[in-house]
Amino acid sequence: MNTQQLKDTAKALVADDKGLLAMDESHPTCNKRFAKLGIPQTVEARRAYRELIVTTPGLGQSISGAILFDETIRQQKKDGTPFIKVLTDAGIIPGIKVDTGAKDMAGHPGEKITEGLDGLRERLKEYFQMGARFAKWRAVIAVGDGIPSRGCIEANAHALARYAALCQEASLVPIVEPEVLMDGDHTLEQCRAATEEVLRTVFNQLNSQRVLLEGMILKPNMVLPGLTCPKQESMDEVADITMKSLWRTVPAAVPGIAFLSGGQSAELASARLNTMNLRFKSRLPWALSFSFARAIQQPALEIWRGDEANVLAAQQALLHRAKCNRSARRGEYTAAMERTSA
């Protein structure tokens, strides 16, 4: 374990108001998104789409790191250049998703446990040799009648902490992602209570597993009402309650918090991140950043639709979202930005 390298990488991932681009959709998730737009669900289509993303000119000005999937980290551009090299040349740090997915949790109807610890030490070693410098593991926590249960929170937090310790041993910065889902009609208060309990448990477990807080990044959900909850709070209320939950639970030694987008529209995700930075940045111990998948990629994917002729327009849309989110880190994002550039 190289402590200095871990600290330096973690700092670099949140430096300069840049953020992370999650492009680590597993086959089923990527295929589902392709199917909705009539894009063929093939290895070549996934490769072509990922080539579009990593070759977007200027992406490195707003994106510090890109999270890849196992298939993608081994792929190349059409001309044979490995994606890892394309990213590194663009000043983007390559990362890798290492969990093997959230599975139904025995004895816990409606809840999931993330798997992937078996053989993880060997996989991490290989990814480091390939050039990855950080990793990601996502736990999912559903909110509803009587859930999340204590058993689900504890099991997921424990797995996250064991993953994080193994990453640091391999000199990879762990992105620790406990996602409280937006699905359902639960209230903002229910999300707040679940998020705080989850984060408190996660940091207890990280401490038990001797994870170096200065060498990790937290990737949480924003605190939001369920997607179908009749009451949808304002931007300011969401910013206030999210910050309150993070202040209560996340140690100041953590260098950065990079939100997931979780199914919010691209514009809402940018606007909410912006509101938090605008109102609170000067008082925060950690950088408040982004690690979005859908909120950066979705507009580009909808333009591309698997057609080579749309690559340039799709890249422009991708770059636009990346720039909007960089502005949101500075508290300088405005709705007018959505009208002025493609």
So which residues are the catalytic ones?
Answer: 177, 219
We find the least distance from the C-beta atom of residue 292 to ligand 13P, in angstroms, to be 4
* CB nearer to ligand 13P: pick between 145 and 227: 227
Peptide bond into 148 cis (omega under 30): yes
Query: How many angstroms separate the CA atoms of 153 and 142, rounded?
Result: 10
Regarding 94 and contact with ligand 13P (CB under 6 A), the answer is: no
Task: Give the rounded distance of the alpha carbon of 289 from its chain centre.
Answer: 10
Query: How many angstroms separate the CA atoms of 277 and 279, rounded?
Result: 5
Q: Are 117 and 162 in contact (CB under 8 A)?
A: yes
* CB nearer to ligand 13P: pick between 54 and 207: 54
**157 SS3 class:** helix
Contact flags string 287-316 toward ligand 13P, x per CB under 6 A: -----xxxx---------------------
Selected from 172, 177, 225, 319, the binder of ligand 13P by CB under 6 A is 177
Q: Are 30 and 46 in contact (CB under 8 A)?
A: yes
From 73-81, 222-230, 258-266, 327-335, span contacting ligand 13P (CB under 6 A): 258-266
Of residues 194-233, those binding ligand 13P (CB under 6 A): none
Regarding 22 and contact with ligand 13P (CB under 6 A), the answer is: yes
Selected from 75, 190, 242, 261, the binder of ligand 13P by CB under 6 A is 261
What are the counts of helices (DSSP H) followed by strands (DSSP E) for the chain? 13, 10
What separation in angstroms does the CA of 42 have from each of 6, 28, 38, 261? 36, 11, 12, 26
* CB nearer to ligand 13P: pick between 133 and 138: 138
Query: How many angstroms separate the CA atoms of 45 and 98, rounded?
Result: 22
Regarding 160 and contact with ligand 13P (CB under 6 A), the answer is: no
Q: Are 296 and 266 in contact (CB under 8 A)?
A: yes
Tokens coding 248 = 């209560």
We find the least distance from the C-beta atom of residue 208 to ligand 13P, in angstroms, to be 24
We find the least distance from the C-beta atom of residue 307 to ligand 13P, in angstroms, to be 23
Of residues 120-159, those binding ligand 13P (CB under 6 A): 138
* CB nearer to ligand 13P: pick between 208 and 295: 295
Cα dihedral 195/238/279/331 (nearest 10): 100
Regarding 176 and contact with ligand 13P (CB under 6 A), the answer is: no
* CB nearer to ligand 13P: pick between 114 and 277: 114
Selected from 19, 174, 262, 299, the binder of ligand 13P by CB under 6 A is 262
**What secondary structure letter does DSSP report for 136?**
E
Residues lying near ligand 13P in the complex (CB under 6 A): 22, 138, 177, 260-262, 292-295
